[in-house]
């Protein structure tokens, strides 16, 4: 798989840490895709004991996952500790006094990198990751997901495809040759990373969303509030000048439709099962058949 871009990890954590307080004010797309992912999940028959909300952010999906699976142990993991502070608060508010009921498990909050999860092998039944994996190295993250999933576990996620914010990317290209918008993996790369991580029966599909803005500056401001900064390692050093922003804005005007500027998002929905079942197939007589490829010489 070709590595599209290498996000600077410290910068990602710092950006989202700073964004935590105002993130919910502008997380419109994240709410839509989170709801869609939860709805898709409601059609799957599952009784997870443990759910990991990976890249949980301010935790909106955490409370909803708790409603969908009331007896489950929820784990919220995020690389930005301030996001987890917000998630904890949001969970308390969403549950009110109900959170003191004996059967209500309190979520566990862990500041952890998706590429190196501080969780035991085979410890999670469901991994839920809404718009977080686009900030991560997919090969490492899917291999961690496979490691922590129990044998019959499921991973559901959304991430962003390469057409995302193409209007902004094109507009910046009129200013200089530096990458100003993060680069995203395509479905082929995502599928390959899932297969390489030995996740089983991977399924991917794509949906397009358009948010609209009065000005290009308003879009860029929202991205900043979200914490969705340019974290390309080859980004232009230093601050962006007023002239450059003016040029981007002028170029963006060509996309104006019915009085508004569109910002396109290509959202990729995916799911896959733990590959453990595929590795060892249970026979009717109770024996387990292990493929020859997995038998190692001692």
Ligand X SMILES: C[S@@+](CC[C@H](N)C(=O)[O-])C[C@H]1O[C@@H](n2cnc3c(N)ncnc32)[C@H](O)[C@@H]1O
Stretch that binds ligand X, among 55-63, 192-200, 248-256, 271-279 (CB under 6 A): 55-63
What DSSP line would sit under 196-228, residue for residue?
HTT-EEEEEEEEEEEEEESSHHHHHHHHHHHT-
Tell me how far apart the alpha carbons of residues 200 and 154 are, in angstroms, rounded to a whole number.
9
User: In angstroms, rounded to a whole number, what is the distance separating the alpha carbons of residues 22 and 233?
Assistant: 26
Choose the stretch contacting ligand X; rule: CB under 6 A; options: 67-75, 132-140, 236-244, 255-263: 132-140
What is the rounded distance in angstroms from the CA atom of residue 216 to the CA atom of residue 7?
Answer: 24
Query: Site residues for ligand X, window 85-114 (CB under 6 A)?
Result: 113-114
The span of 78-86, 101-109, 230-238, 288-296 binding ligand X (CB under 6 A) equals 78-86
Binding pattern to ligand X, positions 2-41, x when CB under 6 A?
A: ----------x---x----------x--x---x-------
> How many residues sit close enough to ligand X to count as binding (CB under 6 A)?
23
What distances in angstroms separate CA 36 from CA 23, 83, 158, 162, 201, one per listed residue? Answer: 19, 22, 10, 20, 21
What radius of gyration, in Å, describes the C-alpha atoms of the chain? 21
Q: How far apart are CA 215 and CA 279, in angstroms?
A: 52
**Nearer CB in complex with ligand X: 180/229:** 229
Task: Give me the residue label for tokens 């969303």.
Answer: 209
- The verdict on 62 binding ligand X (CB under 6 A) reads no
Binding test (CB under 6 A) with ligand X, winner from 48, 57, 153, 191: 57
The residue from 48, 55, 153, 161 that contacts ligand X (CB under 6 A) is 55
Provide the minimum distance between the beta carbon of 215 and ligand X in the complex, in angstroms, as a whole number.
22
Binding residue for ligand X, selected from 51, 60, 154, 270, defined by CB under 6 A: 60
């Amino acid at each position: 798989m070709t590595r599209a871009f290498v996000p600077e990890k410290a910068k990602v954590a710092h950006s989202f840490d700073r964004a935590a307080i105002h993130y919910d004010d502008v997380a419109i797309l994240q709410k839509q895709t989170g709801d869609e992912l939860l709805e898709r999940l409601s059609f799957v028959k599952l009784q997870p004991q443990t759910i990991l909300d990976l890249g949980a952010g301010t935790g909106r999906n955490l409370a909803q996952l708790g409603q969908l699976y009331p007896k489950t142990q929820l784990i919220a993991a995020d690389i930005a500790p301030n996001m987890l502070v917000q998630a904890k608060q949001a969970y308390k508010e969403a549950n009110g006094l109900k959170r003191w009921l004996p059967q209500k498990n309190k979520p566990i909050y862990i500041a952890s990198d998706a590429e190196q999860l501080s969780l035991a092998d085979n410890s999670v039944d469901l991994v839920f990751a809404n718009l977080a994996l686009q900030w991560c190295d997919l090969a490492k993250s899917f291999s961690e997901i496979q490691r922590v999933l129990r044998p019959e576990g499921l991973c559901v996620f959304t991430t962003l495809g390469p057409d995302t914010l193409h209007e902004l990317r094109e507009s910046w290209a009129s200013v200089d040759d530096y990458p100003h918008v993060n680069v995203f993996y395509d479905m082929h790369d995502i599928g390959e990373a899932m297969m390489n991580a030995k996740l089983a029966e991977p399924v991917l599909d794509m949906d397009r969303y358009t948010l609209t803005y009065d000005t290009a500056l308003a879009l860029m401001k929202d991205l900043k509030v979200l914490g969705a900064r340019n974290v390309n390692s080859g980004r232009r050093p230093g601050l962006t000048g007023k002239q450059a922003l003016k040029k981007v804005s002028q170029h963006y005007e060509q996309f104006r439709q019915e009085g508004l500027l569109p910002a396109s998002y290509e959202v990729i929905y995916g799911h896959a099962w733990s590959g453990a079942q595929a590795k060892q197939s249970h026979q009717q007589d109770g024996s387990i058949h292990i493929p020859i490829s997995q038998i190692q010489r001692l």
